[in-house]
Chain A
């Protein structure tokens, strides 16, 4: 990852405060260090971008603290290396560094658990729905052909599948 952006004013310290202002009808974005931001009277309301939070967390190793040498068995990435590059090495890094990543995730997303789409759910619904429509088609056919024993069997199968498809805790 590139060096952190330096403060637009002092050009010495990393810019952590990002501010937008309008001067002479022109929009200007300022990147300031905390000190210069205070000098300009920009308090805590100035915004921190997600990338900057992450950068801060990954790049500013507190002085005196030993480097975290936890390593991902699958790809060999160490956590200290992740701090420098800001990118994980493989999907297994999330397990390997879970303890260290959790506070970062919590800072960036305010939450640490996924809500939303999942691959298996979509695939599962798809196959169950497909299977159900196939069984229903066969049931109609069985009734038409007066194969009542087969129809009863199909009906039970459909019932069982429909029961399965209902989300748990839906009884109430």
Chain B
């Protein structure tokens, strides 16, 4: 497998086939682990980092989950490739900024990735389509149990798995789900929902946009606490909250369909019209319209498109992806044209 195979390869996220996948785009579990008696990456010398990398690489090559996948060292790949991997959720922005001594392993189906020398020595994630937090954890746990037979983890009976940042200590787990909530935004109930999530001690952030601006109606909800609660408890409480949000979004969609169906159809129709006909379109405008189109498909207002093709476009229309597809660096203005071309091709009326 080569890095460029990822460009045409199907990401498990794109399949849009798990339970509740109309609203829950994806589920993810990430575990943070460190090696006993080794300096954390932020304080390690290049030499120490290289040693840790070698030790971990020797251990992870036995993992069957990553057989036939990719091992990429951060100092051996291009900037564009790093951005491309980040757009695909295979590496974090932090790892994308790292150089020598850091690496990533990617499973052949792209549902699993393991980062070496990010903020912690090891961070691995399982990302599946739909609402499947338990399954993500099961797989992550299996990887963990294989690793611990070959690597001695930094662990204390009192504080659990020791991490570079005290916010991750204990279980070292981050459980999250990406939710698509366009109807709650349309009926202006999103604020209440988000406030409720925050009050429950969970974290919520917009998937797109930074800091003060969110767009695309996609939200990532995750646990904040990692110490003093078991993995199962953390997953169960997140699951419970997500179920409630999914139900609220469903109710909002049903009520919109009932009371404002022509407004809804108009919105969806306009989004489809723009995506199918635009020649110059920004990333942000694309994501906003893709969100509306996706809801239209969920509500059977669009007949000739499926969820998977729209999910794919969320990823393929991002800057590094457009450049990987065309095989050359493109500046922002040219990308907007390329994006329009890609959308017109992919969304042609059948």
A16 to B224 alpha-carbon distance, docked (Å): 17
A152 within 8 A of B: no
Q: Which residue of A lies closest to B230 (CB)?
A: A116
Interface segment among A22-30, A63-71, A140-148, A159-167: the answer is A22-30
Query: Are A116 and B38 within 8 A (Cβ)?
Result: no
Binary flags per residue of A46-67, CB closer than 8 Å to B gives 1, else 0: 0101110010000000000000
Binary flags per residue of A1-33, CB closer than 8 Å to B gives 1, else 0: 000010010000000000011100101111100
B230 touches which of A88, A94, A115, A123 (Cβ 8 Å):
A115
Per the CB 8 Å criterion, the residue count for chain A at the interface is 49
Q: Which residue of A lies closest to B160 (CB)?
A: A114
Q: Which residue of A lies closest to B173 (CB)?
A: A116
Query: Are B198 and A47 within 8 A (Cβ)?
Result: yes
Query: Are A117 and B144 within 8 A (Cβ)?
Result: yes
Query: Are A31 and B211 within 8 A (Cβ)?
Result: yes
A45 to B231 alpha-carbon distance, docked (Å): 28
Query: Are B166 and A54 within 8 A (Cβ)?
Result: yes
Q: Which residue of B lies closest to A111 (CB)?
A: B228
Query: Are A77 and B225 within 8 A (Cβ)?
Result: no
> Chain B residues with Cβ under 8 A from A105's Cβ?
159, 166, 169, 227
A109 to B172 alpha-carbon distance, docked (Å): 12
A54 touches which of B40, B154, B167, B230 (Cβ 8 Å):
B167
Query: Are A118 and B229 within 8 A (Cβ)?
Result: no
Q: Given that A88-B166, A94-B156 are contacting pairs, would A117 and B212 also be in contact in the complex, using a CB cutoff of 8 Å? A: no
B206 within 8 A of A: yes
A90 to B119 alpha-carbon distance, docked (Å): 12
A116 to B235 alpha-carbon distance, docked (Å): 12
Q: Given that A27-B185, A27-B214 are contacting pairs, would A108 and B225 also be in contact in the complex, using a CB cutoff of 8 Å? A: yes
A27 to B195 alpha-carbon distance, docked (Å): 13
Query: Are B169 and A118 within 8 A (Cβ)?
Result: no
> Chain B residues with Cβ under 8 A from A116's Cβ?
160, 170-171, 173, 229-232
> Chain A residues with Cβ under 8 A from B43's Cβ?
75, 77, 87, 89-90
A95 to B162 alpha-carbon distance, docked (Å): 11
Q: Which residue of A lies closest to B37 (CB)?
A: A91
Query: Are A114 and B167 within 8 A (Cβ)?
Result: no
Q: Given that A20-B194, A116-B229 are contacting pairs, would A31 and B212 also be in contact in the complex, using a CB cutoff of 8 Å? A: yes
Rounded to whole Å, the gap between the CB of A116 and the closest CB of chain B is: 4
Query: Are B226 and A109 within 8 A (Cβ)?
Result: yes
Query: Are A87 and B42 within 8 A (Cβ)?
Result: yes
A108 to B191 alpha-carbon distance, docked (Å): 24
A134 within 8 A of B: no
Query: Are A112 and B40 within 8 A (Cβ)?
Result: no
A75 to B211 alpha-carbon distance, docked (Å): 34
Q: Which residue of A lies closest to B163 (CB)?
A: A88
> Chain A residues with Cβ under 8 A from B165's Cβ?
54, 86-88
> Chain A residues with Cβ under 8 A from B159's Cβ?
94, 105, 112-114
A40 within 8 A of B: no
B141 within 8 A of A: yes
Per the CB 8 Å criterion, the residue count for chain B at the interface is 58
Q: Which residue of B lies closest to A8 (CB)?
A: B212
B323 within 8 A of A: no
> Chain A residues with Cβ under 8 A from B39's Cβ?
75, 89-90
Binary flags per residue of B195-211, CB closer than 8 Å to A gives 1, else 0: 10011010100100001
B40 touches which of A28, A89, A117 (Cβ 8 Å):
A89
Q: Given that A50-B203, A75-B39 are contacting pairs, would A123 and B229 also be in contact in the complex, using a CB cutoff of 8 Å? A: no
A109 touches which of B158, B190, B227 (Cβ 8 Å):
B227
A47 to B212 alpha-carbon distance, docked (Å): 15
List B218-248 residues whose CB lies under 8 Å from chain A: 224-233
Binary flags per residue of B136-177, CB closer than 8 Å to A gives 1, else 0: 000001001100110001111111111011110111010000
> Chain B residues with Cβ under 8 A from A154's Cβ?
none
Q: Which residue of B lies closest to A127 (CB)?
A: B149
Query: Are A22 and B190 within 8 A (Cβ)?
Result: yes
Residue of B165, B166, B226 contacting most chain A CB atoms (<10 Å): B166
> Chain B residues with Cβ under 8 A from A87's Cβ?
40, 42-43, 119, 164-165
Query: Are A28 and B229 within 8 A (Cβ)?
Result: no
Query: Are A91 and B212 within 8 A (Cβ)?
Result: no
B188 within 8 A of A: yes
Q: Given that A105-B227, A110-B225, A114-B160 are contacting pairs, would A88 and B40 also be in contact in the complex, using a CB cutoff of 8 Å? A: yes
For this complex, 30 residue pairs linking A to B, each with C-beta atoms less than 8 Å apart, are A8-B212, A20-B194, A22-B191, A25-B188, A27-B206, A28-B213, A45-B195, A45-B199, A50-B225, A75-B43, A87-B42, A89-B43, A90-B43, A91-B40, A101-B166, A108-B225, A109-B225, A110-B225, A111-B228, A112-B227, A112-B228, A113-B159, A114-B158, A114-B161, A114-B171, A115-B230, A116-B173, A116-B232, A119-B153, A120-B155
Q: Which 6 A-B pairs have the closest CB atoms?
A: A111-B228, A114-B160, A91-B154, A109-B227, A116-B230, A89-B43
